[in-house]
Structure 1
Amino acid sequence: MAAVAAEFGRDLEQDFVIVEKLVDHARSAGAALLALPEACLGGYLLSLDGASDDPGPPALELDGPEIRRLAALAGDMTVVAGYCEQDGDRRYNSAVCVSGDGVLGNHRKVHQPLGENASYDSGDTFRAFDTPAGRLGMLICYDKAFPEAARALALDGAEIGVCVSAWPGSRTNAAADLAEDRWKRRFDLFDRARALENQVVWLSANQAGTFGSLRFVGSAKVVDPGGDVLADTGVEAGMAIADIDVGRALEAARRHMGHLRDRRPDTYPAGAPRT
């Protein structure tokens, strides 16, 4: 499995050049599943203050030619990528999962940080779905800050969680060394916690470099169901690659202490996931 930290911008054709190189690299490394960052097709927002002079990324339709192009590049692999989704007069910050057979799943970002709601409508569901790599659930960036989101996917049978992000460094008291940034620390903590508490394999992809006023923390990684990081790019652009047997990893993690099995939903407050 592979997760990417890379820099993407508004030039969609250039983004596809980068995607093709990354897919080829992952395929040559034997990866069956590749996670690309949030907004890798068309770039993210220039800032998070709702700046009105930012036209935003190009809006793509789920059944449009760009997503079909992505599926063709995926071929025998399963690929997750972020894009701006057009649905009628609404735009969503979305992630799509494809293989050479077409679209396997789509997720619209539910939790919107700061001024992101000025550019996108919000999604309203968390669903897992079957892929050649295993049953998978997707989150986008700020979604992973909410334990209920990842838990909803795990309760829907997700064996693999994929979170694609455009997660920047702190806007205040920014660290000179991005590796020491407090928002990077939170990014990493959320990845490990979501994997451990749900005992799932976790892939985290992120933008790298800079875009507009944002400086991204990179830190793509693969995390096992015990919360241990198997591969990590650090703050630089790169690809985290790990060899993991999903079924065996889940069985080992859940054999004695099964966090999903041992839940007591009858004791939890109203509104908590109870399935």
Structure 2
Amino acid sequence: MERKGATAQIATGKPKFIALSESIIEKIKNGELQPGDQIPSENELIKTFNISNTTARKTLLEIESKGWARRIKGKGTYVLNRTEDHHLLRTLGSIYATRRGFHDSLIAEGFTPKNIVLEKTVLPDGISSEINGRHFIIDGPVLKLHQLRYADELLIKDEVKYISLTLCPKINKIPTEVSYFKVYENNYSLKINEVQQTFSVKILEPNTTNFDLSKPTPAFVLDSAVICTGDKVVEIEQSYYHGDKYKFAVISNPEHDYRSANPVIL
């Protein structure tokens, strides 16, 4: 038998795939599914709603044909960004989005990403940063990676990362558009225990930054540290986000002490 929720959707007299696709589109409209989120796969739809392969496939195709999602071969179907002016929506606290990475997140939302590497050098000495009242240090050698991140030819992030070459030897040989979070976990078997961040706003003046600005514009300033087992710092980031193109949401879990909360963004 179909689940109760599925039965209620199909009781309208509409074909199953239409009723189910409309239900998922409604979740996109009300924000339950955000741009870049993955829509349940064919197998998940089959298992959840006890439907056929054909109905599941037609459901996803219907959502895609109406412009609400995009299927990426070998990866899944993702919610497209249909926000006004294509604002980028990012949720503080989404480990899932962080693992996926900046580059793949843009593709999932329907943007064309581009990276321009301004600097990729090995620093023999260490780097340090103060975040949330704590001092974080990476001993040398350190990879410094400075790159500009574009979405549809618009510069949206000026990013500088410092990565431990002691914990991640030869990571400088890896392409820069990857999700470094996944590289730390998969390539170097590092267990990420904590992500510390501060998030502030700064007014950027025209002709003083890499952003092409015609007037003073707010930018979000991110300082972060990624800490793995043994309190070892694998990454420190210092980046600017184009303030006119970003909106942020926050995940709050009242069951956890605020000191253990680890909001993360892309």
TM range (shorter): under 0.3
Greater fraction of residues in strand? 2
Provide TM-score, normalisation by structure 1. Answer: 0.26
Larger radius of gyration: 2
Provide TM-score, normalisation by structure 2. Answer: 0.26
